Amino acid sequence: MQTTTFQNNKNIALNIQNTINIISNHMNLKSITAVFFVFLIGIISSKAQYVKLPESLKENSEILPVKGRNGIQINQVITFGDFKTSKIKKGWTKTSKFTSSATSVSSSSQKFSFVQNGPNNIAADVACLGELSKIDIEIIKNLFSIGTDFKSCFTGSITISETEIWDFIIIDPEKKPDNGSSSGFIRKENSELIELFASTELEGKKIPKFLQGVVQGYEFRMADEPIGIVSLYNKGDVILKNGLPDNIKLVIASLSTALLVKADLNDQ
């Protein structure tokens, strides 16, 4: 597993003091205070780039930092590790009816699609629809065992081949269930099921008060075993358990990208 090392507190304090000494010759007190605050926030945030990891993933996973979430996100491409998307196709107008093997959507104000490329020449077509209310979506086949008590949902499909299509749905994506239950599912019809659990905690970092309760990422579980993480915090990270089959890694990567893009759209 990749790890990040940091200088001890004494060295950090010395670095901060040196920085203050350098800039103090050129700035007034107000400017120094502002720069110091930004510098300190940078140090604090660098200590945790991803959501809290379950013990089983700490020594048996690979951390893949995300690139492509900065700047103007026109013709956006998301990359992490050996995974890279096509240009993200986004649309803000009402969409025509979308139907998968599990759901039917009458309309959506947030839609986007992309091709998720992975290692060994494997790829998936990913279609996503967000900001859906329960009146916008019809559950054709209840592959996910969800009720109707939700305010919004995020759904779509991940198509690897004509014979391997995964449907997904996440209920109230910006909220962690109070009872600790799963927030969503990815499922291949009548076959494998991956559950998603929202996380509001960061690895090795206390959440600031203004971020407490905010979903920072999701944990993927298969047969109750953690197999991956997507962290929405800062630039983002995708964490994959070692030894997963290529198709399962691609499914996790596809929905991780979708959640990262959705988070960026929500912030615009």
- Is the pLDDT score of 209 beyond 90? no
Mean pLDDT across 108-120: 86
Q: In this predicted structure, what is the pLDDT of residue 46? A: 47
- Is the pLDDT score of 11 beyond 60? no
Please tell me whether residue 79 adopts helix, strand or coil conformation.
Answer: strand
**Residue 197: pLDDT band with limits 50, 70, 90:** very high
Q: Distance between CA atoms of 239 and 249, rounded to whole angstroms?
A: 10
Question: Burial of 102 by CB count in 10 Å (0-12 exposed, 13-18 middle, 19+ buried)?
Answer: buried
Which range (35-44, 58-67, 150-159) has the least confidence?
A: 35-44
Q: Distance between CA atoms of 127 and 252, rounded to whole angstroms?
A: 14
Mean pLDDT across 54-63: 92
Which range (8-17, 178-187, 234-243) has the least confidence?
A: 8-17
- Amino acid identity for residue 205 in this structure: K
Chain centroid, CA 215 distance in Å: 10
Q: In this predicted structure, what is the pLDDT of residue 80? A: 98
Q: In this predicted structure, what is the pLDDT of residue 40? A: 42
Q: In this predicted structure, what is the pLDDT of residue 75? A: 87
What is the β-pairing status of strands 83-85 and 98-99?
unpaired
Mean pLDDT across 149-166: 85
Q: In this predicted structure, what is the pLDDT of residue 248? A: 96
Query: Which residue has better confidence, 100 or 163?
Result: 163
Tell me how crowded residue 5 is: count the other CB atoms within 10 A of its CB. 4
What is the β-pairing status of strands 193-199 and 217-222?
antiparallel
Query: Which residue has better confidence, 24 or 216?
Result: 216
Q: In this predicted structure, what is the pLDDT of residue 92? A: 45
- Is the pLDDT score of 37 beyond 70? no
Q: In this predicted structure, what is the pLDDT of residue 170? A: 87
User: Which range has the top average pLDDT, 24-33, 93-102, 109-118, 136-145?
Assistant: 109-118
Q: Which residues pair with 210 in a beta bridge?
A: none
Q: E strands, 55-144, where?
A: 61-65, 79-80, 83-85, 89-91, 98-99, 103-105, 110-117, 123-132, 137-139
Query: Which residue has better confidence, 146 or 154?
Result: 154
Q: Distance between CA atoms of 75 and 26, rounded to whole angstroms?
A: 40
Q: Distance between CA atoms of 226 and 229, rounded to whole angstroms?
A: 8
Query: Which residue has better confidence, 203 or 96?
Result: 203
Instruction: Give 123-143 pLDDT, tens digit per residue.
Output: 999 988 876 555 455 554 454
For the chain, give the mean pLDDT: 76
Please tell me whether residue 3 adopts helix, strand or coil conformation.
Answer: coil
